[in-house]
Structures are given as C-alpha cells and as structure tokens.
Amino acid sequence: MIDSIARKAVDDAFNSLERPFYTERDFVWICHKEIQKNINLNNLQQYQIHYEYPVSGHNEETEKTYYVDLAIVSEQIKKPILVIEFKYEPNHSRLDILPSKLPVVSLNGIFKDLNKIVAIKKTRPEINWLFVLLDEGNHFKDKRELIMEYCKSFNLEVENMIIKSDHE
C-alpha cells in the first residue's frame, strides 16, 4: 500500500500545477506533500514521511550512515519501510536556466544514488526502495538502458525505477 501511495505521489507531483521545477528539492518537496496527503486520506497515520532520513548501509569498505531523500517510516517499528532517492534534470531548452548550469545530473550521480540503495539493501534487505529520475527534456533517453543494466548488475529490481519525461 505504501509503495502505491509513493508511486501515485510521484505521478501527481510530475503532473502538478506547481511546475516548472527549478531544483530537485522542488520536486522532492511536492512528492513529500503528496505522500503525506495520501497517508492522511488512507488513514495510515502509523506511517511518517521524513526528508534526509539516516539509514545504515554497508558498502565495500565499511558500514556507514546514508541519508535518503525521503523515507516512509513505520512508527510501530521505528524503522523505514520505503526509501526514495531522486534526481532532477531540467529541460535543456528552458530559457530560465543558464546553459552553463546544464546538465545538472551526471550518470555518475545516478550511479552514486543507486550505490547508496545497494549499500542500504545489503544491511537492511527488508527496506523497499524507489529511484525517481525526473528527466524533463529526455536528456537521459539514450542512457536509460545503461541505467537499467546497472540496476540489474546489483540485483536491483528495475520496476522500482521511475523515469519521467515531458516527451513521453
């Protein structure tokens, strides 16, 4: 249920009248509000949503604390049940963003966030995850297959990847 609430929130935020977004944080904030609204509408007050939530994970060297963009936490068990990471790439044809500021997101940045999810899943396999790439201008269209293959190489479920673009 929580997974579907989060997915609906991403769709609602993407279709929001509060666009255009200027930063990743704009999109995360609207998703945060939408998830909270849907938690309330479904009488699921046993769940709380948190921004920049600390979650322990294990990478190749050591265990460390990672901060995820959003986490839905069960108040009953005081642990996250869903973590969400976001990346936002604005449309490169927008006149209100300087060309020198683009691209905002790199493929390495995407892989870094996916590595964070891998590390968390090693330590906490019970935690569900979503990765959301808001690619307004379809900048990553030719790199989507590479991103999906990267997920598969770490046994991450590609259905947990959400890629949104204005050109689909």
What type of residue sits at position 38? Answer: N
Write the CATH number for 138: 3.40.580
Six-digit token pair at 164?
A: 């949104």
Give SS3 for 50.
strand
Closest among 13, 37, 40, 45 to 27, alpha carbons compared:
13
Mention every residue, 6+ apart, whose C-beta is less than 8 A from residue 129.
82, 83, 84, 85, 117, 120, 121, 156, 160
Q: Which domain holds residue 135?
A: 2-164
Give strand pairing partners of 47: 74
Phi, psi of 37 (to 5 degrees): -60, -45
**Is 23 in contact with 45 (CB distance < 8 Å)?**
no
User: Quick one: average pLDDT of 34-54?
Assistant: 95
Q: What pLDDT digit, counting tens, does each position of 60-102 carry? A: 677 889 999 999 999 999 999 999 999 999 999 999 999 999 9
Q: How does the average pLDDT of the chain come out, rounded?
A: 92
Angle at 113 between CA 47 and CA 3, to 5 degrees: 30
Domain count, the chain: 1
pLDDT tops 80 at residue 58: no
